[in-house]
Amino acid sequence: MGKLTLFDKIWDSHVVKSIEGGPDVLYIDQQYIHEVTSPQAFNGLRARGIPVFRPGKTLATADHNIPTTDQDKPIRDQLSRNQVAALAENCKAFGIEYFGLNHQKNGIVHVIGPELGYTRPGMTIVCGDSHTSTHGAFGAIAFGIGTSEVEMVLATQCILQPKPKKMRITVNGSLRKGVTAKDVIMYIISQISTSGATGYFVEYAGPVISSLSMEGRMTICNMSIEMGARGGLIAPDEVTFRYFKELPSVPEGFDWNSMILNWKELKSDPDAGFDRELTFNGDLIKPMITFGTNPGMGIAIDDSIPVPEDVAGDDNASFRKALDYMGFVPGMKLIGHPVDYIFLGSCTNGRIEDLRAFARLVRGRKKSPNVTALIVPGSKAVERQAIEEGIDKILSNAGFELRQPGCSSCLAMNDDKIPAGKYAVSTSNRNFEGRQGPGARTLLASPLTAAAAAITGKITDPREFID
Amino acid sequence: MPKEKLNILESRCVPLPLENVDTDQIIPARFLSATSREGFGENLFRDWRYDKTGNLKPDFILNNPAYSGKILVAGKNFGSGSSREHAVWAVYDYGFRAVVSSFFADIFRNNALNNGLLPVIVPEKFLQDLLSMVQKNPETIVRIDVQNQTITVPASGQSHFFEINPYKKECLIKGLDDIDYLLGLKDLIASFESEKNR
């Protein structure tokens, strides 16, 4: 007794069978699907002539490949239109609940899952999207899978999966003014690199994590994959329980009073065995920004870009290639560098709290004329709430426009592309070459840092705007 | 459904000595709108391989006629980033059957194994030696033996025993499929559900 991690407890209770020397057959409580990574899985079911085993345990949304304007009109791009239509047809044919474009519950898969109460503590959750780790904020095992695995879950509600190792990351202290959850996770990734947690499932703990809202915790868990982790999770607590009590809509048969009793058991034992433990001091974290082409290449916003000789873990060729792509040189400071675009949104920072933070900073100010802004709510519910709270008015008074929900410029499958060579301060999760459009130069940062850049037209320390 | 079997692979290699090659480089998102698994090889490494107007970039390794083969040798942390299986389909569709690196991103590795593409993990030193050897001599042959879990470079005599879990090894050698295996467990899964009230 008393040596298990939260991860062990959830994982072990979902193992249907262990294969000798091989993976576990893991039962999945909830699957989410979207238009991009599911069509080939449905084709597979058709080729085998088999049904979806438990259609009630999969939920579908269209988010990756949709426009963020004129959503009431047909999608212009034919391939995108076909892909979204294929999802609708597949859901109908196989009996899966689908929140398509214009549905009042539509939105980014990792935003709607939690806000509609489908994601709950203690669950196993998968989706054909690496940012499925987001749902770990609720004390669930949630991770991204490939399309072959989507087909496995559709066919049998199970997946074959080797059990990852376990890491705990504790963030002590407290956060300084202008430092957000996004900065915390970007700081951790900058410290351990983009592959520092590969092979591990991470539990986040400590006073800084406990102090975060559910939105902030989702931002942290969301980017677990950016340090290579299979996923990240946070033990549920009073903040988690309050989130469920305040949910405006919940799935049928949802009885949180009885659930909450079980959820209170969901924590790592005091002397639980982790394969690796890391501790960081939250007091030292400043607003962060990336300068390169992977999320591990991040610095405090007032720091200088490192010189290659000082960079451990990255070889010089890759480091120099990244700086060439970005148009930066070693040792330079980013503060004051011109910015062409800002993007607020995505499953990392497209929730109401992110829009509120952005609006608070730009309120009573004006967007820089040099900046094109893409402000994209994570879901229809976030969009509605932003309008109810008057955030849309604050934004339009400052020269911004609220678009319609979707993944948008995070991966730029739709028209929301950053042009080649342009600099975008983006609240999304990846700064890979061409991620936001061929040749686009992405600087990852928090909603506050994006707001500061939108106002000044330059990379700006958001603390200048915060009393 | 049966898949292509893989046991012995003897081939020349294509060297890609870059670290953290992410899935957006392997197959950019704008090519993910297809609803089938075929044809992604055409856009493998699209923005490194072609310029803005669609012409081949002569300095990229895939466009160098000296290099060919069924084995891609890449720097550490290959396949990081998104879960898109399209990245594996692109590598496979182009004609590769194995990727050799010192480190793979987890999801890419799972996806590869589910599609008969073998990820071979070798020590950093082995990788660097192999990369420089192939760069010097594009005709270098590498032999991969799945049954015996070895990767050998006959010209240098270097050999390494690589890890692969026994279940996946059997799937590769026999061309077996996870879904067929799981479908065989349906009764067990159903009784798990009623037992655990799921």
Q: Are residues A312 and A217 in the same domain?
A: no
DSSP string of A153-200, one letter each residue = HHHHSEEEEPPPEEEEEEEES-PPTT--HHHHHHHHHHHH-TTTTTTE
pLDDT tens, position by position, A383-437: 999 999 999 999 999 999 999 999 999 999 999 999 999 999 999 999 999 999 9
In the predicted structure, residue B24 carries a pLDDT above the cut 60: yes
Confidence of residue A136 (pLDDT cuts 50, 70, 90): very high
Q: Are residues A238 and A118 in the same domain?
A: yes
pLDDT tens, position by position, A269-309: 999 999 999 999 999 999 999 999 999 999 999 999 999 87
Q: What distance in Å separates residue A432's CA from the closest CA in chain B?
A: 7
pLDDT tens, position by position, A192-223: 999 999 999 999 999 999 999 999 999 999 99
3-state secondary structure of A285: coil
The pLDDT score that the predictor gives to residue A254 is 75
Q: In the A/B pair of chains, how many CB contacts fall below 8 A? A: 192
Integer Cα distance of A435 and B120 in angstroms: 27
Q: Which of B33, B124, B176, B193 to mutate to test the interface with A (most CBs of A within 10 A)?
A: B33
Q: Are residues A255 and A319 in the same domain?
A: no
The pLDDT score that the predictor gives to residue A312 is 57
On average, the pLDDT of chain B sits at 96
Q: Are residues A298 and A272 in the same domain?
A: no
Give the tokens for residue A137.
């904020």
Q: How many domains are there within chain A? A: 2
Provide the ipTM: 0.96
A29 touches chain B (CB under 8 A): yes
Give the tokens for residue A282.
């939250």
pLDDT tens, position by position, B120-151: 999 999 999 999 999 999 999 999 999 999 99
The pLDDT score that the predictor gives to residue A75 is 96
User: Is A57 within a domain?
Assistant: yes
Domain boundary among A277, A297, A316: A277
State whether A130 and B193 contact (CB < 8 Å): no
DSSP string of B151-193, one letter each residue = EEETTTTEEEEPP--HHHHHHHHHT--HHHHHHTTHHHHHHHH
Boundaries of domain holding A296: 288-465
Q: What distances in angstroms separate CA A74 from CA A67, A78, A102, A103, B15, one per listed residue? A: 10, 10, 11, 14, 44
Q: Are A185 and A445 in contact (CB under 8 A)?
A: no
Integer Cα distance of A333 and A331 in angstroms: 7
Biggest distance spanned by C-alpha atoms of chain A: 64
pLDDT tens, position by position, A46-71: 999 999 999 999 999 999 999 999 99
pLDDT tens, position by position, B153-173: 999 999 999 999 999 999 999
- Burial tier of A130 (Cβ tally within 10 Å: 0-12, 13-18, 19+): buried
Confidence of residue A329 (pLDDT cuts 50, 70, 90): very high
Q: Are B29 and A411 in contact (CB under 8 A)?
A: yes
The pLDDT score that the predictor gives to residue A249 is 78
Q: How far is CA A288 from the centre of its chain?
A: 17
pLDDT tens, position by position, B82-95: 999 999 999 999 99
The pLDDT score that the predictor gives to residue A255 is 80
| Cβ-based contacts of A130 with chain B (< 8 Å) | 81-83, 107
In the predicted structure, residue B116 carries a pLDDT above the cut 70: yes
Q: Are residues A361 and A406 in the same domain?
A: yes
Residue A274 has what DSSP assignment? Answer: -
Integer Cα distance of B197 and A49 in angstroms: 28
In the predicted structure, residue B25 carries a pLDDT above the cut 70: yes
| Cβ-based contacts of B179 with chain A (< 8 Å) | 44, 48, 148, 151-152, 155-156
In the predicted structure, residue A119 carries a pLDDT above the cut 80: yes
State whether A129 and B165 contact (CB < 8 Å): no
In the predicted structure, residue A313 carries a pLDDT above the cut 70: no
DSSP string of chain B, one letter each residue = ------SEEEE-EEEE--SS-BHHHHS-GGG---SSSSSGGGGTTHHHHB-TTS-B-TTSGGG-TT---SEEEE-SSBTBS---THHHHHHHHHT--EEEES-B-HHHHHHHHTTTPEEEE--HHHHHHHHHHHHH-TT--EEEETTTTEEEETTTTEEEEPP--HHHHHHHHHT--HHHHHHTTHHHHHHHHHHHT-
Give the tokens for residue A366.
């004006």
Q: Are residues A270 and A301 in the same domain?
A: no
User: Is A1 within a domain?
Assistant: no
3-state secondary structure of A264: coil
User: Is A282 within a domain?
Assistant: no
The pLDDT score that the predictor gives to residue A67 is 97
**Residues 403-442 (A) with a CB less than 8 A from some CB of B:** 411-413, 420, 430, 432-435, 438-439
Q: Are residues A292 and A270 in the same domain?
A: no
| Cβ-based contacts of A412 with chain B (< 8 Å) | 29-30
Residue A304 has what DSSP assignment? Answer: B
Q: What distance in Å separates residue A173's CA from the closest CA in chain B?
A: 30
Q: Are A67 and A29 in contact (CB under 8 A)?
A: no
Task: Note the CATH number of domain B8-196.
Answer: 3.20.19.10
Integer Cα distance of A279 and A27 in angstroms: 32
Q: What distance in Å separates residue A50's CA from the closest CA in chain B?
A: 10
In the predicted structure, residue A314 carries a pLDDT above the cut 70: no
Write down the H helix ranges in A351-446: 352-362, 380-388, 391-397
Integer Cα distance of A374 and A418 in angstroms: 10
Residue A371: which residues within 8 A CB-CB, separation 6 or more? A339, A340, A341, A342, A453, A454, A457
State whether B165 and A162 contact (CB < 8 Å): yes
Q: Are A444 and A292 in contact (CB under 8 A)?
A: no
Give the tokens for residue B16.
């890609």
Q: Measured between CB atoms, which of B24, B83, B167 is closest to A22?
A: B167
Q: Are A141 and A11 in contact (CB under 8 A)?
A: yes
Q: Residue length, chain B?
A: 198
The pLDDT score that the predictor gives to residue A309 is 77
Integer Cα distance of A383 and A107 in angstroms: 10
Integer Cα distance of A10 and A115 in angstroms: 22
Confidence of residue A20 (pLDDT cuts 50, 70, 90): confident
Q: Which of A14, A17, A84, A130 to mutate to test the interface with B (most CBs of B within 10 A)?
A: A130
The pLDDT score that the predictor gives to residue A316 is 82
**CA angle in degrees (0–180, nearest 5) for B9-B15-A144:** 80
Q: Which domain CATH number covers A159?
A: 3.30.499.10
Residue A382 has what DSSP assignment? Answer: H
